Amino acid sequence: MKIYKFLSMLFIALSLFTPSACTSNDDDEPQAAAAGNLQIKFENGFNNLGDIVLNQTTQTSSNGQKHQLSALKYVVSNITLIDETGKEFKYNENNPDKGAFIVDQADAVGGIVYLNLNEIPQNNYRKIKFGLGISQNAYLLGQNGQAEFWTKAKAKGMSWSWAAGYVFVKLEGKYGNSTADTEFMNHTGNMGNVTANNTPDLYREITLDLPTTARVTGKITPSIHILADLNQYLSGDTKLTLTAANNMMMGSSQHLVEVTDNLTKMFKVDHVHND
């Protein structure tokens, strides 16, 4: 009888202990950190004149040529955030429908074009990397993952009307020696499979250090403010002059390769807000 009573009491004790222990273990399990959002602000200007006002702001190049812009657009894709340990978070890599954007100066509000990214892992980020244009890896996937972006690009005039591919950068306006009175357009970009066509690949990746950490949390949405100095267009590492030979160029000619290489140097992070 005593043994039966002892076993009964032991069974009850174990029954009470087991669920409480399980509850304790469940509470101690780490919860996944909530994803957050991130904003990137692009501000296009000439470094000595401030923000660009289309059809108004006139710049003088290092070669003494005056020019102003009536259209300023470029594609940004494959945005990557790099944390304090060097680990990368790739935002919809090679998926233009979700991860590519068109920065159009005509859409600027107070001189700024805003890009809003969501579902960013909570972390402290020290660098940002992004592509200027659309990578061949993304383009060669075909319609999968870029049908929506293709429609947007076509509506924005950022696709070729006579060939397959995207316009990466569209610069249009007027230029001249004493006054800006001659029309120009320089449209850079790939057409089709650059390897098969034996043409230069104008897609470029740019990596920028952040002056302060972008702290993404479920409650904090950092804003990374990037300045783009369009003085690099004609006055960058390669000093360019617009002439009748290159003022109406589209695609990936040598002049547009040099334009592309100049423009990759125009970006810098001015500051980061953690609000």
Q: In the structure, what pLDDT confidence band is assigned to residue 88 with cuts at 50, 70 and 90?
A: very high
Q: Is the dihedral of CA 207, 147, 36, 29 positive or negative?
A: negative
β-bridge pairing 204-216 and 248-251: unpaired
User: What is the b/e burial string over 199-231, where b = at least 16 CB atoms within 10 angstroms of the residue's CB?
Assistant: bbebbbebeeebeeebebbeeebbbbbbbbbbb
83 and 125 in contact (C-beta within 8 Å)? yes
Q: In the structure, what pLDDT confidence band is assigned to residue 10 with cuts at 50, 70 and 90?
A: very low
- What pTM does this model have? 0.88
Residue 138 has pLDDT above 70, yes or no: yes
The full DSSP string for 214-271 is EEE-SS--EEEEEEEETTHHHHSSSB----TTTTEEEES-HHHHHHHHHHTTSEEEEE
Q: Is 50 in a helix, a strand, or coil?
A: strand
Q: Stretch 153-178: mean pLDDT, rounded?
A: 94
Tens-digit pLDDT profile for residues 194-206: 999 999 999 999 9
Residue 11 has pLDDT above 70, yes or no: no
Instruction: Please report the pLDDT score of residue 163 as a whole number.
Output: 77
Residue 17 has pLDDT above 50, yes or no: no
Q: In the structure, what pLDDT confidence band is assigned to residue 32 with cuts at 50, 70 and 90?
A: low
Q: Stretch 177-198: mean pLDDT, rounded?
A: 96
Q: Stretch 119-145: mean pLDDT, rounded?
A: 95
In which residue are the tokens 């040598």 written?
254
Instruction: Please report the pLDDT score of residue 34 as a whole number.
Output: 80
Q: Stretch 212-217: mean pLDDT, rounded?
A: 97
Q: In the structure, what pLDDT confidence band is assigned to residue 63 with cuts at 50, 70 and 90?
A: very high
